Structure 1
Amino acid sequence: MIKYKSKEEIEKLRAAAQVVSRTLGKVAEAIEPGVTTLELDAIAEDYIRSQGAVPGFLGLYDFPNTLCISVNEQVVHGYPTDEPIKDGDVVSVDCGAILDGYYGDHAYTFAVGNVSEEVLKLLEVTKECLNIGIEQTRVGNRMGDIGYHIQKHAEDRGYGVVRELVGHGIGQTMHEEPQVPNYGRRGRGKKIKEGLTIAIEPMINLGTAQIKYLEDNWTIVTLDGKASAHFEHDVAVVDGKPDVLSTFKYVEEALAKKDNVS
C-alpha cells in the first residue's frame, strides 16, 4: 500500500534528505586518490550524527556500514573497505539518514582523477536519466512513464539499464511502496497522486544491463566488468508537480572548490 504524505510529513522528509545531501558534500570534499572508502564511511557517520540524525543504512538488513560505496564495475551495495581509491576510479556513494523518524536516501557517482571520456559520458547520461525521471513525477502520469523515459534516454545512447534493482517509496521506513523501475511502458502502472514520495535512482551500465552478486552477498557488479553509474534523489509530488527534496548543491560546491585549487 502506498503511504501518501501530508505537506508536514514531506517537510520532515526534506530535512532528512538535506542531511544526506550535506553528508555527500562532506564526502565530495574528502574523496581523492589514496583515500580509503572506510575513511569516507567514518566521515559520513560522524557528520550524520553531528546533525542529530542517525545513519539510515547502518544495521539495515544487517548492512555493516553507513555508506554503500561501489567502485567502477560495482553497481550498488558495495561496502567500504581499506582499499585506497585510485586515479581514474568512478565511485558511487549511496547514503541514508534518519531524522525525526523520517528517512533520506540519496546517491552520487564521483569521477576521481583522470577518468576516461567514455565513462564521463556514462555519468552525464545517468544524471540526465535521473532528471528525466523526476520530470515525469507529476499528477496525471503513471509509474511506467518514469521508467519508460529513463530507459529510452539510456538505451538510445547504447547503455544498459539494470532491471533487477529499482527505486522505491520512502517515508518512515527506507523502502515503501511503490517500486520505481528504471524501465517500463508509458501509461502503465500505478497513478501518480498528490503526496507521493519516492526515491528515483537510475542504475545505468556502460555495457550490458546484466548483473551478478559477489560472494559477500552484498556487492552487485556488471556481468561484463564495465563501469556502472548511479544517481538518486528523493522526490515528492506537491501541487501536482515534482518537488526534489535532496540536492546535489553541496557536492557540486565541494567539487568546484577542488577544481579551483587544482
Structure 2
Amino acid sequence: MVELKTRAEIASIREAGRFVASVLTSVREQARIGMTLLDLDAIAHQMIDDAGARSVYLGYHPSFGAIPYPGVLCTSVNDAALHGLPSPYVLADGDLLSIDFAAEVNGWVADSAVSFQVGTPSAEATRLIRTTEKALAAGIAAARPGNHMGDISAAIGAVGRGAKLGINADFGGHGVGRTMHEEPHVPNLGSPGRGLHLRPGLVIAIEPWFMAGTDEYVFDPDGWTIRSADGSLTAHAEHTIAITEDGPVILTLP
C-alpha cells in the first residue's frame, strides 16, 4: 500500500536525511588510497552511534542475501553496482566507489547514495558518474503532482540511453518512511504518463544506477553484491525526495 506522509512526517524524514547526508559527506571526504572498505564502514558506524541513530542495513536479511547484511554502508567498487559488502578490499588509485547509506533517526528513515573516484580520475568514470547524477536530477524534476511514476522512470531512462549506458529496471527506487523499503517501486526505465499518479505527500528514493556496457548483471556468491555482467564500470546516485504541492523537495541534502 502506498502511504502519503503529512508535512510533519516529511519534516521528520528531512532530519533523517540531513544525518544521512552528513555521513556520506564525511565518508567521501575521508576515503583515500590505501583505506579498506571496512575502514569506511567503521567511520559511518561511529557516526551512527554518536548520533543515537540506527542502521537499517546491519543485520538486514532479505531472501536474496546469503547472509544477514554485515555492515552499515553498501560499498561497491568499479564493476560492482549495488549492495557491495564492506570488506578488507584496499582502495586503489582510480577506483570508482559507490556508497549507499540509509539510517533511521527518531523512527524515520532516509536513503541516499553517491559515486566518486578515489585518487586519479579517469575520463570514462567521470562521464559515467556525471551522467548518473544528471539522470537523478531529471528523475527528481519529473516528480511533480499530476505526473505519473512512468514520467520519473522515462526521464531517468532517457538520460542513460542517450549516453548509451546499460540500464536494468529490476532494482530501482522505492518508497521511504518508517522503513527503508516501502511501496511504490520506482523503476529506472518506463513510459511517460503510465503508472502511479503522483500526489503530494509521496516520499520516495529515486536511484538511477548505470553500467558502462551491458544491461545485464550478476550476483556474487555472497548473494548481495550486484555486478555488471561484462565487468564494465558502474555508478549509482540516489536522493530521498518528497512530492509537495510546489514540486519535489530533496530531503537528503546536508
For the superposition of Structure 1 and Structure 2, which TM-score range results when normalised by the shorter chain? Answer: over 0.9
| Residues 1:11 and 2:5 are matched in the alignment | no
Aligned partners of 1:214 and 1:221 also within 8 Å: yes
2:171 alignment partner in structure 1: 165
Describe the superposition over 1:155-201 as per-residue Cα deviations: whole angstroms up to 9, x where unpaired.
01111112211100000011000000010000000000010000000
Structure with the higher helix share, 1 or 2:
1
Contact 1:20 1:48 in 2 (8 A): no
RMSD, matched Cα:
0.9
Deviation track 1:178-235 (CA, whole Å, cap 9, x = no partner) reads 0000100000000000100000000111111110111111110000100000000000
Cα distance in 1 between the residues matched to 2:145 and 2:169: 25
1 CA distance for matches of 2:168 and 2:32? Answer: 28
1:244 partner letter: I
State the match for 1:144 in structure 2. Answer: 150
Work out whether 1:185 is the aligned partner of 2:191: yes
Q: What is the distance in 2 between the residues matched to 1:83 and 1:122? A: 23
Please give the secondary structure, in 1, of the residue aligned with 2:131.
Answer: helix
> Does structure 2 retain, via aligned residues, the 8 Å contact 1:27–1:40?
yes
Are residue 214 (structure 1) and residue 214 (structure 2) matched? no
Amino acid of the residue matched to residue 96 of structure 1? Answer: A
Residue 27 of structure 1: aligned partner: 27
Q: Superposed, which structure 2 residues align to 1:118-137 within 5 Å?
A: 118-137=124-143
Question: Do the aligned residues in 2 keep the contact of 1:193 with 1:240 (CA within 8 Å)?
Answer: no
**How far has the Cα of 1:240 moved from its partner?**
4.0
Contact between 2:145 and 2:244, CA under 8 Å: does it hold in 1?
no
- Once the two structures are superposed, residues 96-147 of structure 1 have per-residue CA deviations (whole angstroms, 9 ceiling, x without a partner) of 1111111111100111111320111000000000000000001010000000
| Unaligned runs of at least 5 residues, structure 2 | 62-67
Identity of aligned residues (%): 40
Q: Of the candidates 203, 227, 235, which is equivalent to residue 229 of structure 1?
A: 235
One-letter code aligned to 1:17: G
Q: Which amino acid aligns with 1:194?
A: P
| 2: CA distance, partners of 1:139 / 1:239 | 7
Contact 2:35 2:90 in 1 (8 A): yes
4+ residue segments displaced more than 4 Å: none
Number of the residue aligned with 2:45 = 45
TM-score by length of 1: 0.93
Quick one: distance in 2 between partners of 1:25 and 1:185? 34
1:107 aligns with 2:91: no
Deviation, 1:26, is 1.1
Equivalences for 1:60-79 in 2 at 5 Å? 60-61=60-61, 62-79=68-85
Q: In the comparison of the two structures, how many residue pairs are matched? A: 248
